[in-house]
Amino acid sequence: MRPHLIVPMLVCRDPGAEIAFCQRAFGASELSRRETEDGRVVHATLQINGSLIMVHDVSQHLASDAPTPDGSSPVVIYLYGETVDPVIETAIAAGARVVLPAADQFWGDRVGRVVDPEGHVWNIAARIEDGT
C-alpha cells in the first residue's frame, strides 16, 4: 500500500511554544494535543491552510533532535499561499527571524525565508506571475 499523505513532524525543545508560534504566525488550528501530567506538550497535530503538521517534543526513543535556532536546518517547510510579505511580517511579530528577505523570482513566485524560535526554517511563497 502506498502512503496517501505526508505530514511533517517538527521536533521541538518547547512544543507548546512552537504551537503558539504556528497559531500566531500562520493561523494554525490545533487538532489534537497530548500532554504529560505536569502540562508539557508531548505531541500535537496542527492544520495550516488545510495541510497537517505535527509538533513533537525531543525524546530519546525517537532518536530525533530539535534543530539549532541558527536557521541551518537541513529541512525547509514550504508554505505556499496567496501572499508573502504580510505572512512574513506576521511571522516576525510572532518571533521569527528573516533568513532571506522576500523577493520576486524569475520563475514567477515571490519567496522569502524565516526561521522560527525553535529553529525550523519556513519558505513563504506565492505565485505572482507566469514565469518563463
Rounded Cα distance between 45 and 3, Å, is 18
Q: Is the pTM of this model over 0.85?
A: yes
* pLDDT, tens digit, 9 for 90 and up, residues 75-109: 999 999 999 999 999 999 999 999 999 999 999 99
Nearest to 47 by CA among 79, 17, 71: 79
DSSP state, 74?
Answer: S
Query: Who has greater pLDDT, 73 or 26?
Result: 26
Look over the chain and give the mean of its residue pLDDT values, rounded to a whole number. Answer: 94
Instruction: Write down all domains in the chain, each with its CATH number in brackets.
Output: 9-127 (3.10.180.10)
* pLDDT, tens digit, 9 for 90 and up, residues 4-48: 889 999 999 999 999 999 999 999 999 999 999 999 999 999 999
